[in-house]
Amino acid sequence: MKSCIYFLLILCLACANACFVSSRKEATESSNSNATPTNSADISKTEGIKASAEAENLIRKVDFKNFTYEPGCVGEDKQKITVKNGEYSHDKGDDTLYFYVRDVTYGDANGDQIEDAIVLTTCNTGGSGQFSEGFIFGTKDGKTELLSRIEGGDRADGGLRSAKVENGLLVVERNGAGETGGACCPEFVVTSKYKLEGKNLKQIGGDVSRDLYPPQRVKFEKGAKDAFIDVKLTNEEDIKRFVISAREQQLLTVESSSKDVSITLVKGNADVIEQDGKRLQATLKDNGDFVVQVQKINTDKPVNASINFDIK
């Protein structure tokens, strides 16, 4: 009797175990059948993002201050020069060349979703000319490639101030000489926007100019013949200009409290009596506006000065 009971008990346990194993197998198969299949488009997109990131990292790994260029300033004959620590210098009698890298910025200049490098340089071949030029570099097959050049000029005559990518366009700032400026001294900033198409820069819209030194009008209190304005001049803002309204035959005197300031008359018809550093005196020959320039000299430190404007 006991043997029969044991047999039935073993048989029940075996059936229960078989049911449990079958249930786990069905659950596993059901889970596998409900799994989301891998989308080939998602894989392609992920790989594209990874490749783009790798390309961006590649252009940023290029050391453009230890790099080989073909500058346009050397003339029609192409010449490769290699800068070290951003500079190249060659001086043998009349054969002079000084070339240096001023600035490097990054951005997608051609719309391929990969960063490019924009390099600004300056070149001197002897004399006073400082010729600027820009280079746009990308990458192809793991190698650095010149995509295009940015035309510059000599200091105030179209010299490059900056170049960077904004909202998918290359924004370039150049110097403009203006009416009173010479090659040494820019008066305006001219902003142009470009789209890089292949190897060519296509300008989008027209040029926009702004005054490099917008003048501040000097206001005299009613009945007063003089006015005082406090100025701070730095290496970044070393020039400030002021407009004075006056009449013919009046005597204009402008004087600084600091010897580290030079005062000059840059606009207006007048007989200059004295223009020696911190003091300017002139007899005015017309009615109207006269522009006076205050410039920091002699020091690299900031200059704080009080400027006295006197009209008699």
**At residue 75, what is the residue type?**
G
Sorting pLDDT into bands at 50, 70 and 90, what band is 248?
Answer: very high
Q: For the beta carbon of residue 244, count every other beta carbon within 10 angstroms.
A: 24
- In whole numbers, what is the pLDDT of the chain averaged over residues? 86
Per-residue confidence (pLDDT) for residue 69, from 0 to 100:
98
Q: What structural domains does the chain harbor?
A: 54-211 (no CATH), 216-311 (2.60.120.380)
Model confidence, pTM: 0.75
User: Is residue 263 within 8 Å of 234, Cβ to Cβ?
Assistant: no
- pLDDT tens digits along 209-240: 999 999 999 999 988 989 999 999 999 999 99
Sorting pLDDT into bands at 50, 70 and 90, what band is 56?
Answer: low
Q: Tell me the two tokens of residue 47.
A: 């790989």
User: Is residue 273 within 8 Å of 282, Cβ to Cβ?
Assistant: yes
User: Is residue 265 within 8 Å of 290, Cβ to Cβ?
Assistant: yes
Residue with tokens 């030194």: 213
List the one residue out of 67, 162, 161, 56 whose CA is nearest residue 116: 56
Q: Tell me the two tokens of residue 83.
A: 């800068």
pLDDT at 36 exceeding the cut of 90: no
Rounded to 5 degrees, what are φ and ψ at 196? Answer: -85, 115
- pLDDT tens digits along 107-165: 999 999 999 999 999 999 988 999 999 999 999 999 999 999 999 999 999 999 999 99
- pLDDT tens digits along 161-178: 999 999 999 999 999 997
225 vs 294: CA distance, rounded Å: 20
**At residue 77, what is the residue type?**
D
pLDDT at 10 exceeding the cut of 80: no
> Distance of CA 31 to CAs 18, 40, 173, 312, Å?
20, 22, 62, 97
Q: 50-54, 71-75, 94-98, 204-208: which has the minimum mean pLDDT? A: 50-54
